Amino acid sequence: MNQNELIQTAKALVAPNKGILAADESTGTIEKRFKSIGLSNVEENRRAYRDLLFTTKGFGDFISGVILYDETIKQKSLAGTPFPEVLAKAGSIPGIKVDTGAVALPNSPEEKRTQGLDGLRERLVEYKKLGARFAKWRAVITIGEKLPTRHCVVDNAHQLAIYAALCQEQGIVPIVEPEVLMDWSNSIERCYEVTEETLCEVFTALCDHGVLLEGMLLKPNMVIAGKTCPKQNTAKEVAEWTVKCFNRTVPAAVPGIVFLSGGQTSPQATANLNAMNAMGAHPWQLSFSYGRALQDEALKAWKGDAKNVAAGQKAFITRAKLNGAARNGKYSEAMEKELVGV
């Protein structure tokens, strides 16, 4: 493990004004996205869509890195250049999703455990040769009646730590993603409790496995009320609860926290990130690693039609720019008007 290389890559991924694009949707997940615009889920369309995003003018000004899917990292752009090279030329770092999805947790089928450790060392060697310099592994924590169980939290934390250690062994920065879902009716206080428990367990496991904290990034949920909770919170409240939780659980050695959007709307995810950064300096950089919250407007503008590529790229770079502003606490709702007419 080259510690300096890991540290420099991790810092580059949370550079000022920039964040990460999560373009690692599985074939099944992207089918849901394509259905919303009436587009068939075939490789040609998946490649064309990723090409639209990655070749957007000014891409590297706001996107420090891109999480790719196994299919995508092996594909070439419409111009014939491997996607990792396209990203590198744009000033963005190629990354790769390495987990193989979540399945039912034994003895607790309402919860999930993530798979993908078998053969991971060998796959990481291959991905490094293809150009990947960082990776991502997502664990899912469900809030519900008597959930999560202790078994779920411990099991997923343990696997995240093994994954992270294997990544660093190969000189790849691990993004550790323990996502507490916002799908239930829980309050923001309950989300805080579960997020705190989860992060405590995750960092205990990471330290137990000798993971270099300076050479990793955390990709967590924001502390936020469940989707069906009667009381939804303001951006200021989300920011205060989230920062409070992370100050209690995330070591200052971690260079950055790159939030997932977790089902928030694009404006909501941007506003909540902005509110956190507007609070002032934190021990870590607070940035984004958004999927839908960066792509939704671009997908709707594109509609799967080559004639709309420019419109899709304009929508994408505008949202990326807004998140770049939120990264510095300089976003305002008035800036959303930039998306009007896109």
38-89 pLDDT, tens per residue? 999 999 999 999 999 999 999 999 999 999 999 999 999 999 999 999 999 9
For 253-269, the pLDDT digits (tens) are 999 999 999 999 999 99
What local confidence, expressed as pLDDT, does residue 340 receive?
59
Range of the domain at 25: 3-339
For 17-34, the pLDDT digits (tens) are 999 999 999 999 999 999
Catalytic residues: 177, 219
Is the pLDDT at 4 greater than 60? The verdict is yes
Task: Give the residue carrying structure tokens 């934190």.
Answer: 282
Task: Give the residue carrying structure tokens 């078994």.
Answer: 151
For 191-236, the pLDDT digits (tens) are 999 999 999 999 999 999 999 999 999 999 999 999 999 999 999 9
Specify burial of residue 30 (Cβ count, 10 A radius: 0-12, 13-18, 19+). Answer: buried
Rounded distance between C-alpha atoms, residue 98 and residue 140, angstroms: 15
Its pTM surpasses 0.95 = yes
SS3 102: strand
With bands split at pLDDT 50, 70 and 90, how would you rate the model's confidence at 341?
low
What local confidence, expressed as pLDDT, does residue 337 receive?
81
Q: Are 299 and 312 in contact (CB under 8 A)?
A: yes
Is the pLDDT at 339 greater than 70? The verdict is no
Residue of 185, 175, 188, 186 whose CA lies nearest to 222: 188
What local confidence, expressed as pLDDT, does residue 336 receive?
87
Q: Give the chain's end-to-end CA distance (angstroms, integer).
A: 45
With bands split at pLDDT 50, 70 and 90, how would you rate the model's confidence at 342?
low
For 275-312, the pLDDT digits (tens) are 999 998 999 999 999 999 999 999 999 999 999 999 99
For β-strands 134-141 and 173-180, DSSP reports them as parallel
Percentage of residues in the chain having pLDDT higher than 90: 96
* Max CA pair span of the chain: 53
CATH number of residue 49's parent domain: 3.20.20.70
For 103-162, the pLDDT digits (tens) are 999 999 999 999 999 999 999 999 999 999 999 999 999 999 999 999 999 999 999 999
Domain count, the chain: 1
